[in-house]
Structures are given as C-alpha cells and as structure tokens.
Amino acid sequence: MFSHIRIVLVNTSLPANIGSAARALKTMGLRQLVLVDPKIFPSSEATALASGASDVLANAKIVATLEEAIADCPLVIGASARSRTIPWPMLNAREAGELSRIESEKHPVALVFGREDRGLTNEELQQCHYHVHIPSDEEYGVLNVAAAVQVIAYEVRMAHLAHKEVGNKSVMTFSTNSAWDEEIVPASDMEQFFAHLEAALVDSGFLDPNNPRQMPARMRRLFGRLRMDRLEYNLLRGILGRMQVMAKEITQLKKG
C-alpha cells in the first residue's frame, strides 16, 4: 500500500529503538526501513522488540550516509524538535502524512528521524524539503524515536483512509507539486546542483569560500522550497555553466 514511503533512522544508538520503530511502521502498513550507520545492528534485542515485524528488520537497508538513504527521493521530510537559526518550511504531523501519501503515488518519499540524544544535525536537516514537528508537553518534551515514528506512520495511514472515504480526492489544504508535468528532481541530483551553484557563485566572485556565512543554507532552503522539475533543473545547470565560462573569460581578459 505504501511501497514508495520509507522510514529512515539516522545513527540510532539503541537496538531496541530500531525494533520498536519497525513494529510501529508495520502496524500502520509501512514496510520500508532504512538504517543510516546504526550503532548496533543486527541485534537480538531489536528482533525481540520488533515482535511480529521481524520481516521489516530482515529487509531493512543499511547505508553509510543520509545522502545515500534519500538519493532517489524527490520528497524528504525530516523530524525536528528544535527551532533553527534559519527557519525551514514546516509541517505538522497531519500535513506530513497527507503530503507523503500524495507524493508517494508518483515517486519515493523519505521520512527521516534522528539520533536519540540530539536528533538530526543542521546539515542533515538542510537536506530535507520540509521539517515536521510533533508538539509535546513543555514540561517533558522528550519523545522517543520509535514513538515519533509511530505518530508519523499513523498520520500516513489516516491520510490514506481519509483519501478512500472522500472518493480518492485529496484533503490537503496546501498546494503540492503532485500535478507537475515533469518529474521532480531527486535528492542526489539536487546535491549536484548545490555543489554546482556554490562553485559558480565562487567563480563569479559573489561568494567568498572563506566566509560563506549563511548563504549556502539559505540557497538550499530557497531551492528546496521550489522543488525543481527536470526541465527547470537542466535549465539552471546550463545557466550556471555559462556563468562559469563567462567568469573565466573575464578573468583571462583581466590577466591579458
């Protein structure tokens, strides 16, 4: 039912959390689990906590980096419990569930959860198109990673059930890229774009590589919010390439 939606756990320390997360996602109809550099896996403790979801653990994909886990995903949503220096597009859990359901009909979607003690790093969160926040009590805001997976997986399932009840019409209240006429570019290509963009800005003299300040992060936020399709991506890559050629020609003229 949700074959294009994957749950990604980053650098999980406790095997029990991996097992509990596997059980949480399976109860909601999800099956894909990706583990980014887990501290201990496989583990008998993870298998014990998974209970009837041992098949999810057996089929879990283990990768070294978040980049590898989300490479083919045009939509990446990262769980975040902290406010950020640079605000990012935010979803609540219900919106994250509905957007995941809609876009998973066309392409892979990643729901990313961080470490038990400190969540996702700023760099990892900047690889996400949206952040999702689960509001918790101010006096005790500690949400276990497996519990967070359960909340979001539940909202994905509820979005699916609501979708069936209203006759396959979206109940979404905000716009998405689901009607794009071209495929949305996946995360791996966007990483190449950001590297090209930064290089072009440096070559043009606009960006000081020794003092970039917040510009790279803000550019990620801008283009992550736009979520380019393939034609737009190719167009901008061409523009950046031409910028670099012109910058090189100007430099050579100054030297000559």
pLDDT tens profile 17-52: 999 999 999 999 999 999 999 999 999 999 999 999
pTM of the model: 0.87
- Whether omega for the bond prior to residue 42 falls within 30 degrees of 0, making it cis, is yes
Check residue 136 and give its pLDDT. Answer: 85
Give the right CATH number for 5-165 from 3.30.70.141, 3.40.50.300, 3.40.1280.10, 3.30.390.10.
Answer: 3.40.1280.10
75: nearest Cα among 163, 218, 196, 186: 186
How does the average pLDDT of the chain come out, rounded?
Answer: 91
In the predicted model, residues of the chain with pLDDT beneath 70 are 1, 82-84, 167-180
Q: Which residues pair with 8 in a beta bridge?
A: 34, 112
| C-alpha dist (Å) from residue 132 to 83, 112, 194, 222 | 11, 10, 23, 18
Answer for the pair 12, 116: CB distance below 8 angstroms, yes or no. yes
Token output for 127: 């690889």
Do the two domains 5-165 and 187-255 of this chain adopt the same fold? no
Domain residue spans of the chain = 5-165, 187-255
Check residue 137 and give its pLDDT. Answer: 84
- Look at the domain 187-255 and name its fold: Helicase, Ruva Protein; domain 3 (1.10.8)
Percent of the chain whose pLDDT exceeds 70: 93
Q: Residue 41: what residue type? A: F
